[in-house]
Amino acid sequence: MIVVASWLEQSMTRGILTSRYPKEAASDDEVPPTGRPPLPVGGPAPGPRARDSCPVGAISDTEVDQGKCIRCARCVAAGLTFTGPVEAATRSRSDLMRLSDGPAPSPGSPPPLASLGRSLHVFLVDVGSCNACNLEVLALANPYYDAQRLGIFFTNSPRHADVLLVVGVPTPEMVEPLRRAYEALPGPKAVVAVGACPISGGAFAGVRDLAPSLEGIVPVDVFLPGCPPPPVAILDALLKLNGRDRAARGGR
């Protein structure tokens, strides 16, 4: 009895830690300095100095490909800052280049999947990650983010899931298991590519044997840039699937 009381006391002392996101904008605590997409300061074009500073070729003379960025911050010295929207997930790959225009999707971007309903059951598939994305996804269960309050639940089998969260750069060994996990999902189903690795290979872009991106293996519904994306960005990516994200609620 004493023990129960002390756990209770511990919980009461700590109080409610849970984020107000997405009702309120994400706080600075929730978004690390490198949690936002880097954008050129004072203009849309990064320029050649920024281009040369990037170790993964995410920066060209005219635009920044957020799908390739690994948030190493080397371009900061060449005039870029991490000031893009936290809600950086997009429904199409090409929109990742247009993040400087704001979080609004491009006209050709697919609409939310109304068929998924309001609650999402999510299954995590790791196809060759460094673990950081896995742990950021697991962090959604901690009291700070508490994904359950938004109707997001983790399942123990792909057969019970609506959404596949894919982390990591696809290794040849994981291509077949991933395909089978995708086939095991009952329809309607969706795939979220979490982090730079499944979108473009990220830090591993161009490494021999590895798949260049997830797109050739399973269809991707949401592209979430970051290395790794912070937990609030993962929440946003999931909510974008069924149109319950912050932008759709009218919060900017």
Partner 1 sequence: MRRPSWRVESAPAVGGVGGSRALAYVPDDGGFALYNDYAEGVSVLSTAASRPEDEPAVFWRADRDRVRPHTLAPATEIDGYGIFTFPYGPISMGVPESGRFDVRTYGERVLGLVPVGGFKSRRIRDAVVGRPVVDAALLVERMAGNFSAAHVSAFLAAAESAEAKEVPTAEYWVRGLAQELQRIYNHLHLIARVAEAASQNVGLAQTHALAEEVLRVQAEFFGHRWLFGALIPGGPARRLAPADRHGLSERLGHLAEEFERLWLLFLESRTFIDRIQSTCPVARSEAIRWGAVGPTLRASGVAWDDRLRIPVPPYDDLFVPLPQESGGDALARVTVRAEEIRASFLILEQILDRWAAAGTENEPAGTPVAPGRGIGRVEAPSGDLVYDVRVTAGKVDALQLRSPSRANWPVFAAGMRDAVFTDFHFALESFGFAFAETDG
Minimum separation from the CB atom of position 39 to partner 1 (A): 16
Our CB check for partner 1 shows the closer of 134 and 244 to be 134
Indicate the residue among 199 and 247 with the shorter CB distance to partner 1. Answer: 199
What is the spatial distance between Cα 134 and Cα 211, in angstroms, rounded to a whole number?
Answer: 19
Residues forming the site for partner 1 (CB under 8 A): 2-3, 6-7, 10-11, 14, 17, 29, 32-35, 55, 70-74, 76-77, 123-139, 141-144, 154-158, 168-169, 171-174, 177-178, 181, 203-204, 207-210, 227-228, 230
CB nearer partner 1, residue 111 or residue 156: 156
Measure the CA angle with vertex 102, ends 165 and 43; round to 5°: 125
| Smallest separation, CB 173 to partner 1 (Å) | 5
Provide the minimum distance between the beta carbon of 36 and partner 1 in the complex, in angstroms, as a whole number.
Answer: 12
> In the bound complex, what is the minimum distance in angstroms from residue 88's beta carbon to partner 1?
16
Burial status of residue 74 (CB atoms within 10 A of its CB: 0-12, 13-18, 19 or more):
middle
95: left (phi over 0), alpha (psi -120 to 50) or beta: alpha
Query: What does the alpha-carbon distance between residue 241 and residue 223 come to, in Å, rounded to a whole number?
Result: 11
What is the residue whose two structure tokens read 């050739």?
216
Distance of CA 217 to the CA centre of its chain: 19
Q: Which is nearer to partner 1, 28 or 108 (CB)?
A: 28
Taking the least distance from each CB to partner 1, the nearer of 179 and 249 is 179
d(CA 49, CA 47): 6
Closest separation between CB of residue 178 and partner 1, Å?
8
